[in-house]
Amino acid sequence: MGDQALSERLRKRIDGKTKPLGALGRLETLAHRIGSILGSEEPVLSQPQMLVCAGDHGLAAKGVSAYPSDVTWQMVENFLAGGAAVSVLARQHGLALTVADCGVAREIPPRAHQAGAPRLVSCRVAAGTQDASVGPAMTMAQCEQAIENGKQLVRDMPGNALLLGEMGIGNTSVASLLLARLGGIPLADCTGAGTGLDAAGVARKLQVLETALRANSDARRPLHALAALGGFEVATLTGAVLQAAAERRVVVVDGFITSAAVLVASMLQPAVLERCVFAHRSGEPGHTHMLRLLNGDALLDLGLRLGEGSGAALAWPLLESACAFLREMASFESAGVDGSHLS
């Protein structure tokens, strides 16, 4: 009852601003969503946290990516050094960046954290998952541990907004597998070029993924599918989404892989979708199907397929603008403007 009353107050407040009804388009929908999540007619986004979860995949040895697995740990180091796209965008937009080693094949050396710099957290389950084309990628215990790790990461974070990012060579394959198995979408429609495979590479990737689905044909329920087909970083993100939603944080979903984590989380707890803002529609073909499945109305469509949380960071100013107009824009009444002709 309270939430419905808040929704009506938010709609009335938005409609009463000095503008024609609906003139701010989807920014109005976004403002309503954020106000509803935060339980406020004057929402303030505070201490936003960018969480980039990293892990390696046994499936990568089968050639499903244009890059070798070593790139995962190298890119984690790049995040921490401040040179990656998400590092640059997080700095630009004042997003606190946490990089979580959820199971990178080569362990990332710990280091002292300096104020304002990206933070490294180790929540390793193992040195990469097993090869899903021959059997389960994770045991159920490993999957549950990764989910709990994600929940704990969020519990330890300040703020009321969580932006999702990931890194893991081979993880578009994981997203494709989860979408095909849990969404009932033909695998060919879920599978794209990932890091830049040519047509022959995509065909080879599809064959490997078909083998993985057959090897895990009994893994049908959400947690079983996640354990059999997923990655440590996707499972950790699933836990992070569940915890952030429970804490009534705004969850800013990046692209294809982070959406796969949201898909699993939403099948475990459907209400999490009420807390999500979908930043962009990825250049990965499967992401369009994923968004449709999640009823996700993406804010941007820039042909991005980088991952890392880059799309979530790019969309962040739109969330800030939505809150600003809701808080600060005058109403017809307060501005002394005649809006009677618009009612």
Q: Which residues are part of the catalytic machinery?
A: 308
Query: How many angstroms separate the CA atoms of 321 and 31, rounded?
Result: 9
Distance CA 308, CA 85 (A): 8
How far, rounded to the nearest angstrom, does the alpha carbon of residue 277 sit from its chain's CA centroid? 9
Cα 58 to Cα 84, 171, 188, 218: the distances in Å are 24, 10, 21, 20
Q: What single-letter amino acid sits at 106?
A: R
How many Å apart are CA 271 and CA 62, to the nearest integer?
37
Q: Give the amino acid at 72.
A: T
Q: For residues 329 and 41, is the Cβ–Cβ distance under 8 A? A: no
Task: Kindly report the number of other CB atoms within 10 A of residue 29's CB atom.
Answer: 15
Cα(75)–Cα(166) distance, integer angstroms: 11
In DSSP notation, 80-125 reads HHT-SHHHHHHHHHT-EEEEEEEE-SSPPPP-PPPTTS-EEEE--S
Q: Determine phi and psi for 223, rounding to 5 degrees.
A: -65, -40
Q: Which residues are CB-neighbours of 15 under 8 A, at least 6 positions away?
A: 21
